[in-house]
Structure 1
Amino acid sequence: MVKKSVVLSIVGAVVLTIGVIMAAMSILNTDSADLKADDPAAMETSQEDVSSELEVPEKGDEGASTSDVPQRPDCPPGPVAGVELPCLGGEEAGDEATDEGISLVNIWAWWCEPCREELPYLEEISQSHPEWNVVGVHADANAGNGAAFLNDLGVDMPSYQDESNLFAGTLGLPGVIPITLLVVDGEVQEQFIQPFKSAEEIETSVTEALA
């Protein structure tokens, strides 16, 4: 009887100990959950861990929709050196097509620093030589940035939009910008693969090429 009582006492003690341990673990888990809910720092850390695993796409890589493109002057009717392109920030308007007579076509992009210096000179040429069609071709998918770039420079020269390198690819132009083309009646007569440093330099180069 003594041995049986001892065994029962031991079993009871073990059961009681297990119950106490389980109760303590339950209390600890509840407190931990409450702490996370009440601690903003813990929640912020959790959000940071999640966001660091996400790949956030960069803005501005894709072309802007038509509604996002700032208003620009209308373009002469195309094509441009035989290539059909949409007008950047405007429509095609006017009676004289780009491929009629003498045209200067400048290939540029909104991120091009030499273009920033050269484009105002082309604007001067368009004012001093109204007999020449002076137009641009924006060689980048982001039409919104291109139109804003010209507006910031105060350049009213019409420009076409080329988001897929169609113009340079069709004409077999080198993969550099800026490039200025002298186009006569739709045919490329001269390529100026350099940034011009003044309006006078443009005028002299074109006059010599036409001679």
Structure 2
Amino acid sequence: MVKKSVVLSIVGAVVLTIGVIMAAMSILNTDSADLNADDPAAMETSQEDVSSEFQAPENGDEGASTSDVPQRPDCPPGPVAGVDLPCLGGEEAGDEATDEGISLVNIWAWWCEPCREELPYLEEISQSHPEWNVVGVHADANAGNGAAFLNDLGVDMPSYQDESNLFAGTLGLPGVIPITLLVVDGEVQEQFIQPFKSAEEIETSVTEALA
């Protein structure tokens, strides 16, 4: 009898311990679910901020309609290095075409951080070298974000819109940005597959390539 009582006591203690553990786990799971439900928007916003700032959106954004695209400067008449593209936030206007003379064509996107740093330097070059056609190609489907991005930076450089990777695909360019092309009379003379760090670096690189 003594041994049987001891066994029953041990079994009862084990059962009680298991019950306590299960109850504690249930409480913790409930608290965790409530915590996540309190502010799901904050978690979602944090993830969106990271993806939009440092990498291209995985699924891509749908292109905005013309009425949704902020106004931008008009573009010189195309094509650009032989590729026909629409003007981002503007129309094609002027007498001198992009593929006439010397052109600098910068490929960028609204989510690209190196582009954010580089584009103001290209704007400087466009002002200091009016004899060069300095234009951009926005390599993303969301034209509205692209136009707003340039306006926020205070960059007036005209840019074309490429929502389907037509430009890079036609010219066989590597799948990276930013890329700056030196185009002479419609022919690509040089590819600068790097972000420039200053207007002086751009000027030196182009001058040497033209020599």
TM above 0.5, yes or no, is: yes
Q: 1:196 to 1:56 in 2, by over 3 A?
A: closer
Contact 1:83 1:170 in 2 (8 A): yes
- SS for the counterpart of 1:71 is coil
Shift of 1:159: 0.0
What is the CA-CA distance between 1:132 and the residue it aligns to?
Answer: 0.0
Please give the per-residue CA displacement for 1:75-122, whole angstroms capped at 9, x wherever unaligned. 000000000000000000000000000000000000000000000000
**1:88–1:208: structure 2 CA closer, same or farther, 3 Å change rule?**
same
- CA spacing shift, 1:39–1:87, aligned 2, 3 Å: closer
* Unaligned runs of at least 5 residues, structure 1: none
1:37-80 Cα offsets, whole Å, 9 max, x none, are 99999999999999999999999821111100000000000000
| Aligned structure 1 segments of 4 or more residues deviating by more than 3 angstroms | 1-60
8 Å contact from structure 2 (residues 53, 112) kept in 1: no
- Asked if 2 retains the 8 angstrom alpha-carbon contact of 1:103 and 1:133, the reply is yes
Aligned equivalents of 2:195 and 2:46: distance in 1?
52
Partner of 1:121 in structure 2? 121
Number of equivalences: 211
User: Which shows bigger deviation, 11-20 or 49-58?
Assistant: 11-20
**1:53–1:187 Cα change, 3 Å:** closer
Counterpart secondary structure, 1:7: helix
Greater Cα shift, 130-139 or 21-30: 21-30
Alpha-carbon distance between aligned partners in 1 of 2:202 and 2:53, rounded to the nearest angstrom: 52
Q: Where do 1:1-211 residues align within 5 Å?
A: 61-211=61-211
Q: CA deviation at 1:167?
A: 0.1
SS of 2:118 mapped into structure 1: helix
Indicate the RMSD between aligned Cα atoms, in angstroms: 9.7
Asked if the contact 1:88/1:161 (under 8 Å) is kept, the reply is: yes
Once the two structures are superposed, residues 130-164 of structure 1 have per-residue CA deviations (whole angstroms, 9 ceiling, x without a partner) of 00000000000000000000000000000000000
CA distance in 1, matches of 2:5, 2:119: 104
For 1:167 and 1:134, how far apart are their aligned partners in 2? 16
Residues 56 and 28 of structure 1: is their aligned pair in 2 closer, same or farther, counting only changes over 3 Å? same
Checking the alignment, whether the CA contact within 8 Å between 1:102 and 1:185 is kept in structure 2 is: yes
Distance 1:31 1:6, change over 3 A: same
**Which residues of structure 2 form unaligned runs of 5+?**
none
Query: Within 2, Cα distance between the matches of 1:50 and 1:197?
Result: 24
SS at match of 2:29: helix
